[in-house]
Amino acid sequence: MTVTAWVTSASGRYPVRVGRGLLAGVGPGLRASGFQGRVAVVSDATVLEEWGPVLLLNLESAGYSPEVLSIVPGEASKTVATAEVFWGRLIESGFGRGDLLVACGGGVVGDLGGFVAATFHRGMRLLQVPTTLLAQVDSSIGGKVAVDHRLGKNLVGAFYPPEQVVSDVETLATLPARERWNGLAEVVKVALVRDADFVAELERDLETLADGPVNERLEAVVAHAARLKAEIVSADEREGGIRMLLNFGHTLGHALEATTGYAALSHGEAVVVGMKAAVRLSAVLGSLGEVETTRVLALLGRFPHPLGLVKPSSEAVRAAALRDKKAVGGKLRYVVLRGIGQGAVEPLPQERLDEAVALALEAL
C-alpha cells in the first residue's frame, strides 16, 4: 500500500510517496500528469545495472527518450567538476528550464542531481527517486541539494525542493547489509530527537530491519521515518529552528567523514559515532539521565563498528567541525538530547567542543 506524506515548501507542497512497485510507475505517472518535456536521468553505475532497465523502459514506454547521466558510485563523485560535466551534457542536448531531471539513486545521486537541477538555467524541474534506505528516509526529503568541497561536506549547495519524491522500497532488496545499516542510522536519529515510541520499536526490530526481508514492517518504518522528516522540514524549510534537530550526530559525523577521506567511513557510520558523542555530552551537560543515556548508547552500540580505521587527529576534526555550515561566528550549534525523543539545540562553548571531539574519537 502506498503511503503519502506531504512537505510544505516556499515553492508549494509536494508529495513523498512510499510503497512497493512505484519505480515502474514513474513514466506512466509523468504522462498522466500531462508532462510533455524532456527527461534526463542522473544515476550511478550500480543503480543503473540493478534498476535502470525498470526505470528507463517505463519512461520509454510512456513516450520519453531519457538522457542518462551516470556517475561512479561514491562520495568522490559529488563535486562541482561532475556537475560541470552534466551541465555541459544538458546544454549540448538542448535541455531547458521546463524539462525534468530524475535523480535515481542514493544520497550522493540525490544531492548531486538536485544540485544540477537547481543550478541549470537557474532551476529545472526535479523528481527524486531514492533507491537506498538512507535516501528514502532522509536525504531525498526537504530540498537540500549540494556538492562537496575538499574542505568539507555539502558546503556548496541550495534549498531546492523536488516536485515529488517516489520511494520504491523494493529497491532496498538489492542493498548490501552495510547500506541498510547506513540508512538505519538516520532512522534512529530522527526517532531519538522526535519520537520516543518509535525508538522503542527500533530497539525491538533493529537487526531484522538491517538483515531481514523487504516486507511490510520495513515498509512501515520507511514510511514513518519519512513522515517525521516531512513534518519537521515543513515547519522549518530553511533550517532556522526545529529542522536543526536533524543534525543530531552530524556535526562531528561530517567532520569525521571529511578527515577520513569520505571512504573509510560511510555517512551512517560517521553519524552513529557522532550520536554516541552527542549522547555522552548530553549526559555530561546534565540534560540526559543515566538510565536514558545507557539505553541510547546500548541501541547505538548494536550498529556494526568500522574496523581498521586510522583515527584523524583531534585538531583536524575540530577544524573540520568549525568549517561546518552549522557553525556561526566560530561557534557550533550542537544537538543534544533532553530525553529519548526530545532533541534540543545548544551553543557549544570552546571547551565543550574539544570535549565532544575527544568523545567522538574515543567512540571511533
Q: Write out the H or E segment, with its range, that includes residue 347.
A: strand 342-348
Owner of C-alpha cell 526490530: 205
Do residues 292 and 340 lie in contact, with contact meaning Cβ atoms separated by under 8 Å? yes
Do residues 336 and 288 lie in contact, with contact meaning Cβ atoms separated by under 8 Å? yes
Q: Of the candidates 40, 112, 27, 38, which has an alpha carbon nearest to the alpha carbon of residue 76?
A: 112
Residue 188 cell numbers, joined: 534512529
Q: Amino acid letter at 314?
A: S
Q: Of the candidates 190, 147, 253, which has an alpha carbon nearest to the alpha carbon of residue 5?
A: 190
Helix, coil or strand: residue 182:
helix
So which residues are the catalytic ones? Answer: 122, 144, 186, 229, 239, 243, 247, 250, 254, 267
Q: Of the candidates 1, 6, 47, 2, which has an alpha carbon nearest to the alpha carbon of residue 231?
A: 6
H helices within the chain, ranges in order? 26-33, 45-61, 80-92, 107-119, 133-134, 177-194, 196-211, 216-235, 250-259, 267-284, 290-300, 314-322, 350-363
CA pseudo-torsion sign 119, 125, 131, 132: positive
Neighbours of 121 (CB within 10 A): 14
Rounded CA separation 327/322 (Å):
6
Residue 42 cell numbers, joined: 542522473
Rounded CA separation 235/242 (Å):
7
Owner of C-alpha cell 532551476: 123
Phi, psi angles (nearest 5°) of residue 328 = -130, 120
Residue 204 cell numbers, joined: 525491538
